């Protein structure tokens, strides 16, 4: 792991860890359970634990374990997979983990807009995997863009409009962009492209279920 001495680099590194792509989906499930319980029906604690725990396992623990094994075997250098040439295989494994997560969400009868948002997240990763063959688009920001789209989708489903929440979502994303650029992980174009890719692709099913379906 690279050591940072400048406080700005340290803060950027911490924010990159907090917003690590494999953690973001778990945050979203916490937000879903909270909003559904408040605006629809109270969810029992057992359902919270099942949904959040299952999501954390399939999108966090499992892919992180695979990445850790690959690091020990020398297949990749670090958890961020900073070398673009090393990304294809871990992305394929992560795609499989997301597919398992989608099956899990279907099994526990999650709302359709959540399930199809998860499917859209898999599509985003597939597109990122193809783009990465030629250009190092930001996975952190594509994940964050998808997360923002899912929260916006929940707001559309429950008839919520909060300018403060929307501003906060984009502020968090902007800070992540700055962090990735600060750490020289990506160029500004790579972060913006990643964010827009995740936002647009995941927003499509949410708009459909909110206004068309």
Residue whose C-alpha is closest to residue 30's, from 18, 15, 47, 16: 47
182 dihedral zone (left: phi>0; alpha: psi -120 to 50; beta)? alpha
Note whether 206 and 150 are within 8 A (CB).
yes
Distance from C-alpha of 119 to C-alpha of 98, rounded to nearest angstrom: 8
DSSP for 2-68, please give it: ----SHHHHHHHHHHHHT-HHHHHHHHHHHHHHHHHHHT-PPPHHHHHHHHHHHHIIIIIHHHHHHH
Q: What is the pTM of this model?
A: 0.92
79 has a pLDDT exceeding 80: no
Three-state SS at 49: helix
8 A C-beta contact, residue 116 and residue 167? no
Q: How far is the first Cα of the chain from the last one, in angstroms, to the nearest whole number?
A: 47
d(CA 63, CA 13): 21
Residues 6 or more apart whose Cβ sits within 8 Å of residue 155: 161, 162, 165
Residues 6+ apart with CB under 8 A from 84: 132, 136
Q: Does position 82 have pLDDT exceeding 80, yes or no?
A: no
- Answer yes or no: is pLDDT of 83 > 90: no
Q: Contact, 13 vs 4, CB < 8 A?
A: yes
Give the pLDDT score at 162.
Answer: 87
Dist CA 10 CA 4 (whole Å): 6
- pLDDT tens digits, one per residue of 94-145: 999 999 999 999 999 999 999 999 999 999 999 999 999 889 999 999 999 9
User: Residue 137: what are its φ and ψ, rounded to 5°?
Assistant: -65, 150
pLDDT tens digits, one per residue of 15-63: 999 999 999 999 999 999 999 999 888 999 999 999 999 999 999 999 9
Distances (CA, A) of 191 to 9, 17, 119: 17, 16, 22
* Cβ-based burial of 71 (10 A; exposed 0-12, middle 13-18, buried ≥19): middle
> What pLDDT score was predicted for residue 1?
52
């Amino acid at each position: 792991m690279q050591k940072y001495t400048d406080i700005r680099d340290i803060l950027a590194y911490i924010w990159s860890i907090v917003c690590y792509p494999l953690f973001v989906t778990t945050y979203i499930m916490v937000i879903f359970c909270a909003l559904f319980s408040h605006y629809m029906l109270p969810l029992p604690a057992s359902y919270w634990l099942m949904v959040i725990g299952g999501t954390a396992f399939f999108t966090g623990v499992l892919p992180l374990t695979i990445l850790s094994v690959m690091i020990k075997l020398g297949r990749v250098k670090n958890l961020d997979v900073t070398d673009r040439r090393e990304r294809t295989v871990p992305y394929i494994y992560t795609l499989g983990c997301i597919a398992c997560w989608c099956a899990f969400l279907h099994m526990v009868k999650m709302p359709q807009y959540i399930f199809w948002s998860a499917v859209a997240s898999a599509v985003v990763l597939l597109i990122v995997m193809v783009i990465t063959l030629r250009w190092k688009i930001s996975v952190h920001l594509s994940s964050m863009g998808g997360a923002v789209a899912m929260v916006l989708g929940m707001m559309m489903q429950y008839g919520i409009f909060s300018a403060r929440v929307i501003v906060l979502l984009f502020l968090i994303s902007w800070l992540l962009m700055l962090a990735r650029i600060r750490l020289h992980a990506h160029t500004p174009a790579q972060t913006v492209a990643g964010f827009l890719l995740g936002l647009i692709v995941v927003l499509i099913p949410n708009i459909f279920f909110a206004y068309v379906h």
